[in-house]
Amino acid sequence: MGDDISLASLIGLIVALLLLSAFFSGSETALMSLNRYQLRHKARQGHRGAILAERLLKRPERVIGLILLGNNLVNTVTASIVALVAMDVAGQAGVAIGTFIVTMFILIFAEAAPKTLAALHPERIAYPAALIYYPLLKIVYPIVWLTNVAASAVLFLFGVRTRETELQALTREELRTLVHEAGGRIAGRYQKMLLSILDLEHVTVDDVMVPHNEIVGIDLDDDEAEIAKIVASSQHTRLLVYQDDIDHVIGILHMRRLASLTQSKLDKDTLRELLDEPYFVPEGTPLSVQLIQFQRRRQRIALVVDEYGDIQGIITLEDILEEIVGEFATDPDGAGDDIIDEGNGTFLVDGTANIREINREQHWHLPTDGPKTMNGLILEMLETIPEPDTSLKIAGYPINIVEADGNRIRRVRIGPRETDTAKGD
Please state the pTM of the whole predicted model.
0.58
> What does the DSSP 8-state code read for residue 160?
-
- pLDDT for residue 334 is more than 60: no
Rounded CA-CA distance 51/58 in Å is 11
Better-scored residue on pLDDT, 121 or 369? 121
Cβ neighbours for 277, distance < 8 A, ≥ 6 positions apart: 251, 252
Residue 264: predicted pLDDT = 55
Among candidate residues 29, 65, 49, 25, the one with its CA nearest the CA of residue 129: 49
Segment 257-311, tens digit of pLDDT: 777 665 556 677 878 888 889 999 999 899 989 999 999 988 899 999 988 888 8
Identity of the residue numbered 276: D
| pLDDT band at 398; cut points 50, 70, 90 | very high
Nearest 5°: phi and psi at 242?
Answer: -140, 175
Model pLDDT for residues 68-107, shown as the tens digit of each residue: 888 989 988 888 888 877 777 776 767 778 778 888 888 8
Instruction: Give the burial class of 356: count Cβ atoms within 10 A of its Cβ; 0-12 exposed, 13-18 middle, 19 or more buried.
Output: middle
In which order are the strands placed within the sheet that holds 245-254? 217-219, 238-243, 245-254
Average pLDDT of the chain is: 82
For CA atoms 341, 345, 349, 355, the dihedral sign is: positive
Structural domains of the chain ordered from first start: 2-157 (no CATH), 200-325 (3.10.580.10), 335-424 (3.30.465.10)
Task: Please write the tens of the pLDDT for every residue from 196-248.
Answer: 788 788 888 888 888 887 888 888 888 878 888 888 877 778 888 888 888 88
SS3 218: strand
Cα 229 vs. chain centroid, distance in angstroms? Answer: 47
Do residues 175 and 198 lie in contact, with contact meaning Cβ atoms separated by under 8 Å?
A: yes
Distance CA 90, CA 93 (A): 6
